[in-house]
Structure 1
């Protein structure tokens, strides 16, 4: 078993997958200007006077990693774009657009379930990374396309965890809300989660062991919590203790996040998730007390998906545009005000590049900012759509 785990964690396994998909490392950043060829027999180029000859269909790119320039070659543009788009499904820009879109244009019930499960899965994954402290694949031989998160530890892959959780939470929850063919839903869930998992290998940010562990841990969380989803829904919407839990538990988890001997983005990212989740949790409780959520699909449940018409596309696009503007505006306003207050409280200069990394500043500003985003999304945005005639 140990030999199998060691094999699945090998960087060369990831590098082999990258090369099969047309992604090649063409220079070793640890040896200055001297270029290291990966599988020279497969490399058709020649370096001429220190510059690459571009007279073929392949493309060379350069990224900065640990202060060094790393060159890599893309030989399959389709797979390159496909996996980069798939990897983006696990970043903040996706969460702040896709999850609210489900709330605005599909069903508030599904969005609430998704946010709850996404939060649990991501928190478990982030904490496990910083407790286990298993490194990411090394470069070389791997090409790393996301150097921003290279300081984070690798196991488990939270991209694989959240892709699995989101896809299958929708699949398990949607039949009671929306009329659809389950087989098609299963195919879509498997396809999307698989693409995200494979993208973590292609971008060189996780080993095969990281990805498989992420999928298995997410599946374990889903299967163990599934029998209690209805009970959690009732508590969240009806209990008088629900708002207190929605604020203080995420805040406590943010402040008690494991400390590392170096700065990592995991604490800030986890606080972001917990803050947004806490805002949505409280917001859905308030929304329920005000008379219940406004269902974009109507009150007849399970509902038929509306036909795709020019009018529905326009209204959906208008809702998305206005909603995203509202969330981004809230994010920018609260972030600016909270940072200004914290810098003043702790007598920190705004020009200090490390100020935002301090726990006493990073945790409260991120938590308050994204809690405000969650509150605006779950309470105000749909009501604004009603006033504008878009819902």
Structure 2
């Protein structure tokens, strides 16, 4: 079988990597649009980037209104700012939301109609030069060809994809992640862990994606609890940043599966942050998924050091499920009830959520075939 493997043209990584940005943006245009959120502006991270642009003699406009998961409305406003202020390239600074928004803004700045018109299409239109600077260790959006934008009219999270959406430069500097609060550190970290596990257990997995996926799983499993307890541990923050990067590269060349498919409807309908809904679903989905390919899940158990020679592959896979469940509890992942979600309303939306999950296409990538009834069953188990 032949495989294509995609990565950004360049990745700058390491503590203080942001200080190497200058030569990479000098010839990209005379004005940049910095896409971020207002917290990044308040704590000075936007200024760290704008100072570098000042040194280059590059002017800039700041669009820092991506304060939650991006919507079609947020994208439309960003496109207007980009075009009306004559920006030439884009720098995305923040978690997955600003980076996803920046991809969509870049695409729509050179496209007609509305972003909702492009749901499900492969994006090949060349977008303005895009630099992605993640401030969380989670989504891996800095190295992927995907963006998720909420269609506010239909209350659906749209997945857009295509090599053209991949940032040309990723700057992975763990110094930007130190200010991430513990709860956000956990949510984004488990999002990355989910990316890696799903990439490794997808029908679309390939040898190179496997290498990145297993490495990411180990880094994240070994370091997430460390940074949860001590966010100032720079080495652990660096390991988490690398893990999220590796997980992004893995699923960018493989795919996500059942967890992400089921997570998006929870986020769209109940406005639960993406990483949190993934964390809530992870163990329950794995419990069902292991039947698809026990060997692969057993290999993950070996990678994180919970396998014993006396175990069968099935026992190792089952041990993985129980360890991940306890891992999430240790990291204080909230339940749906703790998030104040109304159970009756949740049940009323079961059909829609299951249908939307299947329509996303992600569950079809799992090694086990999931039907609508099974997906509903998993959603119900979240209340146990």
TM-score (norm 2): 0.31
Q: Which has the higher strand share?
A: 2
Work out which structure has the larger RCO, using CA pairs closer than 8 Å and 6 or more positions apart in sequence. 1
Q: Which has the higher helix share?
A: 1
